[in-house]
Amino acid sequence: MTHPQLSEDCEALPFSFSYPEWDDSIGDEKPDWCQIREFVVREGRSDFSDRIQQEYGAEIQHVRRSFEALRPQEMRIVRGVEDGEDLDFDRALEMMVDKKISGSFSQRIYQRREREVRDTAVSFLLDMSSSTNELANAKGKRILDVEKESLFVISEALDALGDDFSIYGFSGYGRDQAAFYIAKDFSDAWNDQTRNRVGNMSWKMENRDGVAIRHCIQKLQAQSNRSKMLILLSDGKPLDCGCDHYAGRYAQSDVRKALQEARKMGIRSFCITVDPYGQDYLEEIYGPNGYLVITELMQLPSLLPKMYWRLTRS
C-alpha cells in the first residue's frame, strides 16, 4: 500500500522506525507504539531560493557577516597533555613529587595552545501539518512559507558560523503512518541543492510531535558534537486526527516526556510557535524558558538568527 505521505515532492527511504509513546493515563509508555518512515524532500525549482535572495538579500548578507565575525578566534591553553609546546610547571612539580614518593608518575606535564572552536549541532524540526497552509499575512504568504524563509536565513548564518545543522520536517496520519522529511541532513552541505529542497517542503496532514521528536533525538545523538540542540518550529498544539486520542493532555504529556528523554541525553530543546494561544500549554510542555510565541509571524526571519545565537552562545 502506498504511504499516504508519499507525493511527488519527496522520495521514500526503505526503512521505518518504531518508537514508544507515553500514555499519561496509565503513567507508563506503550512500547513500539508508533511507526515513522523517512522521506527525502526532492530538489524543487530555484524559484523559492531566487525569491528569498531578492527579498532578504540584504538581511542574508548582514547575518552572514555578523555570524562570520562570531567565529571563535581566541586561543585557549590545554593543560596536562603528553606533548605540547611548553612545560606545565604545576604538573611537572606533581610528577617529581609522585616519582619520589611512589615511583609512579604521569607523563602529562606539558601544555599547548589550541584555537577555541564551537562544537554545536542543531536540528530544526518543522511542523508540516495542514494548518501551516493557512495565510500568514494579507500578501498571500502561508505560515509554512514564512517558516521556510526563516530556515533559509538561519542556514546562511550557520553556514558562515560553521555550526553543524540539519533541517527536518514531520507530519503523518495515525500512529503507524508518521512521516519524517529530510531537507538537509547533517552530512549535507548547504548549497543550491539543499536550498531548493527547503523550498520544496510542503504542507501535509497531521502533527504527531512525540514520535518525530524521538526520531530527531536519535539523529542528534549520533552526532559527536559537544553541544546539541533541537529547535521546533510549530504553529500549534500536537494533534493527530488519524486516531481518537492524540490530542489534549495525552499528546502534550507525550511531547513533554520525549523532551525529558532528550535532556537526559544532553540535548536541549526550544520551541518557536505562532500559536496565539500557546501560553496556555507551552510552559507545561517546554518549561518556562523553553519556548517563544511569535505574535508577528513576519518578524521570524530576522528574529530566528538572534534567538539561535542567544540559545547557543554559552
- pLDDT tens readout for residues 21-76: 999 999 999 999 999 999 999 999 999 999 999 999 999 999 999 888 877 654 45
Q: How confident is the model at residue 1 (pLDDT cuts 50, 70, 90)?
A: very low
- What is the distance between the alpha carbons of residues 9 and 77, in angstroms, rounded to a whole number? 50
End-to-end CA distance of the chain: 48
- What is the distance between the alpha carbons of residues 252 and 275, in angstroms, rounded to a whole number? 15
Q: Is the dihedral of CA 106, 107, 113, 116 positive or negative?
A: negative
CA 48 to chain centre: 22
Rounded to the nearest 5°, which phi and psi values hold at 275?
Answer: -70, 115
Specify the pLDDT at position 209: 96
- What is the distance between the alpha carbons of residues 269 and 259, in angstroms, rounded to a whole number? 7
Instruction: Assess whether pLDDT exceeds 60 at residue 3.
Output: no
Tell me what the mean pLDDT of segment 75-100 comes to: 68
Q: Is the dihedral of CA 216, 29, 226, 312 positive or negative?
A: positive
pLDDT in tens, 226-243: 999 999 998 878 999 998
Q: How confident is the model at residue 244 (pLDDT cuts 50, 70, 90)?
A: confident
Q: What is the DSSP string of 242-279?
A: TSSSSSHHHHHHHHHHHHHHHHHTTEEEEEEE--TTGG
Domain spans of the chain, in order of start: 10-69+117-312, 75-115
**Alpha-carbon separation of residue 284 from 92, 114, 224, 287, 291 (angstroms):** 53, 42, 30, 6, 11
List the CATH code of the domain at 10-69+117-312. Answer: 3.40.50.410
Rounded to the nearest 5°, which phi and psi values hold at 70?
Answer: -85, -5
Contact in structure between 163 and 120 (CB atoms under 8 Å): yes
Tell me what the mean pLDDT of segment 10-22 comes to: 94
Specify the pLDDT at position 277: 72
Angle between helices 300-312 and 47-69 (to 10 degrees): 40
Tell me what the mean pLDDT of segment 274-296 comes to: 83
Specify the pLDDT at position 73: 56
Instruction: Assess whether pLDDT exceeds 90 at residue 296.
Output: no
